[in-house]
Amino acid sequence: MKRILIAAALLLLLVVAGLAMWMRTGTESPSVAALGAVSGEALRDPALVARGGYLARLGSCAGCHSVRGGPAFAGGWAVPTPFGSVPAPNLTPDPETGLGHWSFADFWRALHHGRGPDGKLLYPAFPYTSYTRVTPQDALAMYAYLRSLPAVRQETPAAKLEFPYNLRSTLLAWRALYFRPGAFRPDAKQSEEWNRGAYLVEGLGHCNECHARRNAWGATPRGTVLAGGEIPRQDWYAPDLSTRQNGGLQGWTAQDVVDLLKNGQSARGAAFGPMADVVRDSTQYMADADLHAVATYLATLPPRAPRPAPHSAFDVKRIAAAGEKVYRKHCADCHGADGRGVAGVYPPLDGNSAVTEPTGINAVRTVLLGGFPPVTAGNPRPYSMPPYAQQLDDGDVALVVSYIRQAWTNKASIVRPEQVGKYRHTPID
């Protein structure tokens, strides 16, 4: 019954969307048409290819368009979504299984309009919602780079989506609500550096695809820019990126932001989970000027409303006191009894968004999994955290996480043992 209702609702949206699309069919801008005429030889220009490679790094394209251990850009990783999984296709120039036959216009249509060469609507697991802001010149460089890759013959598996999401036409409705092809519009009141940062963060960096809440339709509604959100199906929380009052990164300096993106670790925290992958594949290779531009932009995200103090039916004081015992035994040696950690070695837990984010997922999973921050040129031999999945039961993990979420200046809600058990077997890929 529920599905029929959903289908009916979507059908209605479809009609509305169809009308909307019909009313705003436009033509491609002259610059795109001109770039489409660029000759094959010009596309092999090493400087253009190198710039495209750098931009593909910034976009972390290979992060989705490769499987672990497989050839880069040859696709195959099934992007998990609440609606099913969408495998990222092969981007190498293989004529049959890759982009061998794609013209620049085809590439632009995918990146900017979210449509395949045949006009087919692409699933927004491919973040064209962000990439639509990429300039035609940058798109051309990336196109040139992808053409320069060795062709890998590797079929992309079909998407596995539930009804009615397996019908691509449902995307018409979705797009009518949540997607407008658009360009990045520089803010004349801001510096060139700020604008560069905004372009990278909102465009290729597609930061908002994780660092914002998604609604029931898997979209990031307006007004949720980089304010943090749970990453569906991956079970991590991408924190709010505001560095100002009540922001997830409150108190972070520009240097802290640069350090985290470049080295995988700053004095305020370490990259872990999906962000560690982003640092590994993408941000560690960013030019210093771009890193500083990103930090400059993030510094202007607005302050956030204070989060209401959590109230709980449980005896929070007693839980935190019991959790402190676990903390002193297992955690204080590295993170310090005062929760301040050791700069550059062990992250502070006091005021760390990984600890205080709204859900508690990150702290729970980090206690269970431990792990290494990413290996980078600036941090080639990182210190690691032991996994506690074997040593601590769900109750103890809940206690210690509740404690660190309440201790020092932290004022986040406690977590319950049921919330821990859930994450013991979460897939890590």
The footprint of other proteins (CB under 8 A) covers: 67-69, 264, 267, 276-277, 279-280, 333-334, 336, 338, 340-343, 345-346, 348, 369-375, 380-387, 389-391, 425, 427-429
CA distances from 399 to 165, 327, 404, 407 (A): 40, 9, 9, 12
The set of long-range contacts for 338-344, using a CB threshold of 8 Å and a minimum separation of 24, is 338/408, 339/404, 339/407, 339/408, 339/410, 343/267, 344/265, 344/267
Closest CA to 277 of 85, 91, 126, 57: 57
Note the Cα 357 to chain centre separation in Å.
Answer: 16
CB of 352 to other proteins, least distance (A): 12
> Closest separation between CB of residue 341 and other proteins, Å?
7
Cβ proximity to other proteins: between 51 and 280 the closer is: 280
Q: How far is the CB of 92 from other proteins (least distance, A)?
A: 19
Cβ-based nearer residue to other proteins, 187 or 333: 333
Q: How far is the CB of 191 from other proteins (least distance, A)?
A: 31
If we measure between CA atoms, which residue out of 98, 151, 110, 167 comes closest to residue 134? 110
Q: Which residue is associated with the tokens 């909307």? A: 20
With respect to other proteins, which residue has the nearer C-beta, 75 or 374? 374
Torsion sign over Cα 215, 218, 223, 227? positive
CB of 70 to other proteins, least distance (A): 8
Three-state secondary structure call for residue 237: strand
8 A C-beta contact, residue 243 and residue 298 = yes
Q: At 135, give phi and psi (nearest 5°).
A: -75, 155
Nearer to other proteins, 379 or 406 (CB): 379
Closer residue to other proteins in complex, CB, 217/383 = 383
CB of 90 to other proteins, least distance (A): 18
92 within 8 A of 82, measured Cβ to Cβ = no
Helix, strand, or coil (residue 339):
coil
* Shortest separation between residue 304's beta carbon and other proteins, angstroms: 24
Q: How far is the CB of 162 from other proteins (least distance, A)?
A: 25
How far is Cα 286 from Cα 300, in angstroms, rounded to an integer?
20
87 cis-preceded (ω within 30 degrees of 0): no
In this complex, which beta carbon is closest to other proteins, that of residue 122 or of residue 331? Answer: 331
Contact in structure between 284 and 258 (CB atoms under 8 Å): no
**CB-nearer residue toward other proteins: 11 or 337:** 337
Tokens (6 digits) for 159 = 């998407």
Nearer to other proteins, 297 or 346 (CB): 346
